[in-house]
Amino acid sequence: MASSYSTDLKLELMVTGEKAGQWGDITNTNLNLVQQAVAGYEAIDVASSDVALTMSNAAISNARNATIKLTGTLAANRNVTVPDSIEKVYNVIDGTDHAGYTLTFKTASGSGVLLCEGNCYVLYADGTNVVKANEYRKWRTVSAAETVQAGAKLFVETNGGAVTITLPASPAVGDEVHFVDSRYTFDSNALTVGRNSSKIANASSDLVVNTEGAAFGLVYSGSNVGWTYTEK
């Protein structure tokens, strides 16, 4: 009987009486693959195209890595996909510059997670879709207009002029975005929070913040009230 391969990590499964004289080499290969699944790291540039991660039988493969860092400046909306058939946990670091575009980590045929620039994730591929188990939200500095994703934590610099930050499109209940006037200049150059078709504090208008030193968070509560304050 020929070898078979495990469903999720594609390790070679030998049967008694097969592969005479090769068990040592095959076992060592399997141990290397387990090591990649437990501790493997790879940086992947997603600037110029979508990336399909692969999982090959009994061979080092980028979809088997424990931790994946995504890099580059996006030139369009990008998808990073893992095979539909595997169940696996991934640590994903979004080290890209979104440049106004979106980045999604998903299965080849199913749904996934829209990543927020600068954040780190624990994601689970369940064999059909990719779902978010946890997220580390990292503060970053912005000084120009952009549309942000849920989970953004922003030090906003308006010392060079007013800035507009547009909230995520199609937010889910519980999505959050946080803002800090890091240069204490909102009073002279205001921050405008674009509502992107959702209400902000029950108002169908953008939010203009012109208070020096303002620091506040918004959480999406649903279509009735829209984005509401977590603190201000």
Please report the domains of the chain, with CATH numbers, ordered by start residue. Answer: 4-136 (no CATH), 139-231 (2.60.120.640)
- What is the torsion angle, in degrees rounded to the nearest 10, for the CA atoms of residue 137, residue 138, residue 139 and residue 140? -120
Give me the pLDDT at residue 1, please.
59
In the predicted structure, residue 13 carries a pLDDT above the cut 70: yes
Mean per-residue pLDDT, 146-155: 96
Give me the pLDDT at residue 227, please.
98
Residue bearing tokens 């195209």: 49
CA distance 43 to 25: 28
In the predicted structure, residue 232 carries a pLDDT above the cut 80: no
Mean per-residue pLDDT, 12-27: 85
Give me the pLDDT at residue 3, please.
86
Closest among 111, 94, 113 to 45, alpha carbons compared = 94
In the predicted structure, residue 60 carries a pLDDT above the cut 90: yes
Quote the tokens at residue 85.
């058939």
CA distance 210 to 40: 47
The length of the chain, given as a count of residues: 232
Range in 13-27, 50-64, 99-113 the model is least confident about: 13-27
38 φ/ψ angles, rounded to the nearest 5 degrees: -90, -40
Instruction: Say if residue 170 is exposed, middle or buried (CB neighbours under 10 Å; 0-12, 13-18, 19+).
Output: exposed
- When computed from its CA atoms, the radius of gyration of the chain, rounded to whole angstroms, is 22
